[in-house]
Structures are given as C-alpha cells and as structure tokens.
Structure 1
Amino acid sequence: MEYYVDPIAIIAFVATQKGIFVSCAVGNSGPSKSSLSNGAPWVLTVGASTIDRSIRATAVRLGEGTELDGDVLKPDIIRPGVNVLAAWPFDIEDASQGPTFNIISGTSMSAPHFSGVAALFKSAHPDWSPAMIQSALLTTADRVDHQGKNIADQNLNRANLFATGAGHVNPSKAIDPGLVYDLSPENNISYLCAKNYSDDNVSVIAHKTTRCADYQKDGGSDLNYPSITGHLNLSVRLVQKYKRTVTNVGEASSNYKVEVDEPRGVSVVVEPQILQFSRVNEKDYFVTLSINSSTKVGPMRRGSCVGCPTSTL
C-alpha cells in the first residue's frame, strides 16, 4: 500500500512531526517475503520473537522484506511476542451468543513494548527526536541470543536481516548509544519526493501543502537511516556510495573508530575511519560498497560495523 493511502503511515508522519514516537507491528503474515506491514521509515517497525532467547529465539510470525521500500531495511527490530497472549473484543451485541473476547499473539504484542521504552527514553532524554530514539534502539540491539548464538528463524537456521532487523532490543545499552542518526520531517519529505510521488500525494502524508521542487530528492540510499541496503549487480551497478550523519549524544570529547565486518564478496570503505568530537554536534561520514567482475555475491549478503549502520546486500 502506498503511503498516501495508508492511514497509519499518514497519522504516524503527523505524530512524529509533533515529537511523538510511533511503534508499529510488522504483522503476522510471514515468514513469506514481502508480507510486511507498516514499513514507513518514520515509524519503528517491530517483529516478534520467542520469550526465552536462551533457546535460539526465533522470529516465527512476522512480515519479511518489503516491495514498497526496498531501500529501507524492515522490520527494524524484534521483541518477544510469540505466544504472548492478549485479548481483543468481538463486535457482537448479545454476549449470550458466545464469547465476547478472542486471544491473539505475535507482533501486536511486541510492538507496545517499544512505546514503553520510548517513554523511558523521553524521560531521560527529553530533547531526543523520535528518529533519535529509534536509532538508539537499532544501533545497540543484540544480534545474538543470550548464549551468544545467532538468532534462529522458524526452521532453526540463522535468521536473515529481513526477519530480525537489527536484532533483539537492549534498552540498557540503548539509553546511552553514543551516536545517533536523526531524521527531520523535511528529510522524510525529500525521501517521499524521491519516490516520485506527486505534490498532492506528499501533501496528504505531510498534512500540509508541499512542492517537491522545493526539496532535494533524497532516495533511500541517502536517507539518514541507521541501516544501509545496497543494490549491487555485475551488469548495472558495481559501486554504491552512501552518506550518513551522526549526532554525538555521548561524552562531549570522544572519538569513534570504525570496525567493519564486510559482507562476503563485497568491499566496504568507510571515510573517515575515525570520527573525532570535541563537543556534542554532528559529523558526516561516507560508506562505499563495491563488487568486482569476479565476485559471486549471491542474492543477499549481510555485514555490520561499529560506528556505522547495519548493511545488507
């Protein structure tokens, strides 16, 4: 569903403009590909895992991947929701006709956790934007379970990034992330314009009259999101470069050195290698992904780095 006809995406956009953090369930239609709901970059899209992460937590029932936004990795993150039961009412007038409530579990149970976490973050960091909170949650998430093993999917194989996003939330680490990626409403409008939405379409989402001619068109690769999704192939694109801007919310005087775990068959160059801060401010860095004619990359590869986003190809 396009964002300009998606009521949740529209309401969430307006909410984030007012500084309100929005957490949405990815849906229980998975694990088939492109079964995701609520994939807008201005919301935190949440998948469901099992409760006991010590037994290879598995994202069993969540939407996987997205056709609408191939440049934005979704879901963002996972939280226990499988077999966590909650009640929802039937719409019946006479209770004597049968049960008035049903039970459900899955991503609808995991998403509310993040609203609570965001409330705690707002208390600790009242000046943080919704995007900064979202960034803190993603960049500090755990990519392994409590036993240090890879997060498993429903078949007990290593779950891919389209099932887990950044991984399991770790609120105690997220409260002090060091660096965050911020996004303003204007950044998101530039992103929508890059999707070739009409001025009327963007105006519906932004809840104000908008002319894309007034905005730089920042596609998904340029959106200041705390993850990177690259589209490389031997016939069309061998190299892709990304710009990211990080805001220092840690110690005023601090240095961050990049450590890269490259996707297999892909070269990753991050410039500069060290970000030096003498105060709380923003700095830019650039990530270049490249393959060569002898590389067999395959359908998808994953990589990561400390100080820059999660990457997937």
Structure 2
Amino acid sequence: MEHGIFVSAAAGNDGPIAGSISNGAPWMLTVAAGTMDRAIRTTVRLGNGQEFNGESLYQPRNNTAGRPLPLVFPGRNGDPDARDCSTLVEAEVTGKVVLCESRTIDEHVEQGSTVSAYGGAGMILMNKAAEGYTTFADAHVLPASHVSYAAGSKIAAYIKSTPKPTATITFRGTVMGSSPAPSVAFFSSRGPNKASPGILKPDITGPGMNILAAWAPSDMHPEFVDDVSLTFFMESGTSMSTPHLSGIAAVIKSLHPSWSPAAIKSAIMTSSNTADHAGVPIKDEQYRRASFYSMGAGYVNPSRAVDPGLVYDLGTNEYIAYLCGLGLGDDGVKEITGRRIACAKLKAVTEAELNYPSLVVKLMSQPITVRRTVTNVGKANSVYTAVVDMPKDVSVVVRPPMLRFSRVNEKQSFTVTVRWNGAPAVAGAEGNLKWVSDEHVVRSPIVIPPAKAVA
C-alpha cells in the first residue's frame, strides 16, 4: 500500500459465524463471497408431484435417475453418520436415489462417490440449517442435485409420509436470471473484525459462487478418473470473489493512474449495490436481509466504481496514526510497518476518526461525532447534498449538509453526529449516509454495533 500497490484479500470461508472475518486491516480491501443470477440447474421431482430446484455441474446424457426411482434417507432415524451418508448399507441404497445431508463444502463429491460405491443411482444433497439456500454446482460422479435446507427438509418429510417414496432428477443446464440474486454465500466470513471492531469488515462482496476458474494443467482432481487434468474448474469461496475485485481495481487504476489504493477502495465501496436484481435488499444465505457485517458496503458495481464522484482518501501517515491509536505500542507498530515509529510524537487517531468509507459508531447514551474528508474526483463544479437513511430511533446530523466543489481534487470535510432518539437499542442499527449530486450517489454504511457484539 505504501508503494501504491492495491491489496485485495479474502474475507475467509468460516461463515456464517459472527466475528470470523480474516484479513481485516483497513489498508486492505476485504472481500466477501456472493452468488450470481446463474444456476447450473437440476430439478428434483417427488412422487407426490412436488418439485425442487438444485444444482450440479455433472449433467450426463445417460441419466440413471431420470425416471422415478425409490427414494431413501439413511439418516431418518437420527444417526448423524447415516444422515451425511458416511455409513451406508448396500441393500438399503442400491438402485435408489439417496438423500444425504451436506458435510463440509469440500466433501460433496466424496459423498456422492460413497453413494455410488454402495450402488446408489442418484443423490440429493441437502444443506444443513446454517447453510440455508447456498447451493454448489459440484462435479459429481453420479446424477445429483444439491438443494437448500428448506427443500431438503420437505423432501425428508415426504419420505416419512409415504411407504414408497420416489424421486426423479432432471438436468436443465445453465439457467440465467435465477432469483434472488445476488445473495451472500453461507460460508463467507462475517464481521465484526475482532482485531479492530471499529472498522467495518468485510468491505465489499463480489461473485464467489460456482466460478469457472483457471487451474494449473498439472493440478489433478481426485474426484475424476485417474490421470485427468483440467485447465478450468468450477470453484466457490472468497478466494474466487477476491480476484474479481482485484481485476476491477486494476481497471480503475488504468483509468485513474494517480489514484491511491485508498481512493480506489473508496470508489468500489461507495458505489456498490445494496439491492439485488429485483430491486429489493440483498439477502444472506437464509434469505434474510443481509447485514453490513455479512456483505460489507454492498455488492460490487464495476460500471459505477470507475466514476464515483467523491472518494475518501488515506495515506501511510493516517494508517500509522490509526495503529498507534489501537494501543499496540511502538514495537507493535514496528512489527506491522517494518520501521521504528514513536507513537508518543504522533497524534494518534481512533478507529472512528480514520477517514474510512464506512462508519462504525459505538453509540451508548451520549451522542458521538466523527469527522470525514472527501475528495472531488468528478466534475469541477459539483454540489452534493447529504441524505441519511437510518431507523427512526437513530438521529444523524451532517454538518455542513451540502458540499460545493469548484475544482477537481478539491477536499472538503464534514462531521456526522449520531445519537439515539430515546433509549439505546440493544440490537444496534444500520443505515447509510449518501452524498447525492445530479450525477452521483456516494454511499457510506453507518453501523451501530449491537450492545453485545463480538469483541
């Protein structure tokens, strides 16, 4: 960062646990993983006529589960090893479609291999409750469909309801326009950032589900037959969403060579989307409204990020002042910066005072005021008006409420004062501060953490 190098880093795949975020330094762009409106569609049809959509990359023409077959759930009696098909009885699954509960995201194909080895004709892979509606297009070894927890629960209930349950798995290929999309993937790590809870993390969400990604030709895939080598493969994770953001940052840098890494990061964050393709708030893996702790500022919008209007800029000295403000001491700061720093000679800043594109306000009974500075990177003569979107029990006052710019790269500062309208809310609150001009909307998330947020 000090040498002008933009750093994007994966948020991690330990979600949906709160406080599981990785790579939370404020000079990094911390990237969460979201879905797209593309599905590698499969459809499960039960004997009672119910249908459930799922996903699978393996869609053979010779579909052994393409006609109604007996359907069995080995774990219907509660055995956890049987629920996820770790242990099977050949006589109970041979020639049948087998319902299995998901293990880890890296074991889906292995589960299908076990079903196939015991003679199963097909597999329905159902999510656990915490995995919600996030489904993977895996390269299975038998006809399979990965379905949501809600769908899997209904399939399990159907099995219990009839003495002779049946199921068919059909393949639909690539389907565009699936909905809701985008949403946050269940595995994407969540904030708050334990090391520095006053900085909102993750910063942004990008496409990280079922991504067709390049592989080294020598990289062997054990889920396929021996000696098969692939140059591309379908993968999911925050390590898939992060390269998307690196590429977007490179495009912005090519258009604006003088911009700092912080300016590029600000452009990406403040131009992002909080609404999905249907115009409703982006959802998490449970199809509940996604919080800023799960998606960061929002889902990246590359076309808007190249022309953000205003940016929140930062440099090395501000980050060092922030590190001193964390109380790390001179030695602790040296470990990070690589050089000796005398914090006593600097004006340390708190997390809230760092000129970050998002605001985390640890609000109790007394109002809190924070200061921010924006740089005009749009038209020379521009006027921006502050628009606040917060729950009614929170008061936010911006001073001044209007910013007038007369030249490019002009900087102007403002303050944001936040207070409760009445008693503090234990659950915290979320909203947005928007600077709106005729051509731009520059949005910054405002987060008031829950009273018992992860520390």
Q: Confirm or deny a common fold (TM above 0.5).
A: yes
Please provide the CA RMSD for this pair: 2.1
Q: How does 1:131-210 map to 2 (within 5 A)?
A: 131-210=262-341
Instruction: Give the structure 2 partner of residue 244 of structure 1.
Output: 372
2:397 aligned with 1:272, yes or no? no
**Secondary structure of 1:47's aligned partner:** strand
Distance of 1:67 and 1:182 partners within structure 2: 24
- Deviation at residue 105 of structure 1 after TM alignment: 1.6
By percentage of residues, which structure has more helix? 1
Instruction: Give the structure 1 partner of residue 189 of structure 2.
Output: 63
**Secondary structure of 1:108's aligned partner:** helix
The one-letter amino acid of 1:64's match is R
Distance of 2:350 and 2:395 partners within structure 1: 22
Counterpart contact for 1:264–1:301, Cα < 8 Å: no
Instruction: Give the structure 1 partner of residue 445 of structure 2.
Output: 310
Measured against aligned partners, the alpha-carbon deviations of 1:80-135 in whole angstroms (never above 9, x if no partner) come to 112225458879xxxx9988899742100000111111111111100000000000
Distance of 2:13 and 2:246 partners within structure 1: 19
Q: 2:416 aligns with which of 287, 292, 295?
A: 287
Distance of 2:274 and 2:287 partners within structure 1: 15
2:382 aligned with 1:254, yes or no? yes
The one-letter amino acid of 2:347's match is Q
- Deviation at residue 56 of structure 1 after TM alignment: 3.4
**Secondary structure of 1:62's aligned partner:** coil
Residues 141, 117 of structure 1: alpha-carbon distance in 2 compared, 3 angstrom cutoff: same
Counterpart contact for 2:208–2:241, Cα < 8 Å: yes
- Deviation at residue 275 of structure 1 after TM alignment: 0.4
Counterpart contact for 1:263–1:312, Cα < 8 Å: no
Counterpart contact for 2:22–2:189, Cα < 8 Å: yes
Structure 1 residues 218-227 or 301-310, which shifts more?
Answer: 301-310
- Deviation at residue 180 of structure 1 after TM alignment: 0.2
Distance of 2:228 and 2:393 partners within structure 1: 56
The one-letter amino acid of 1:40's match is A
The one-letter amino acid of 2:432's match is S
Residues 98, 217 of structure 1: alpha-carbon distance in 2 compared, 3 angstrom cutoff: farther
Counterpart contact for 1:272–1:286, Cα < 8 Å: yes
The one-letter amino acid of 2:338's match is H
Distance of 1:27 and 1:82 partners within structure 2: 14
Counterpart contact for 2:211–2:234, Cα < 8 Å: no
By percentage of residues, which structure has more strand? 2
- Deviation at residue 21 of structure 1 after TM alignment: 0.5
Distance of 2:17 and 2:317 partners within structure 1: 33
Instruction: Give the structure 2 partner of residue 8 of structure 1.
Output: none
- Deviation at residue 146 of structure 1 after TM alignment: 1.1
State the TM-score, normalizing by the size of structure 2.
0.61
Q: Greater Rg, structure 1 or structure 2? A: 2
Q: How does 1:36-47 map to 2 (within 5 A)?
A: 36-47=21-32
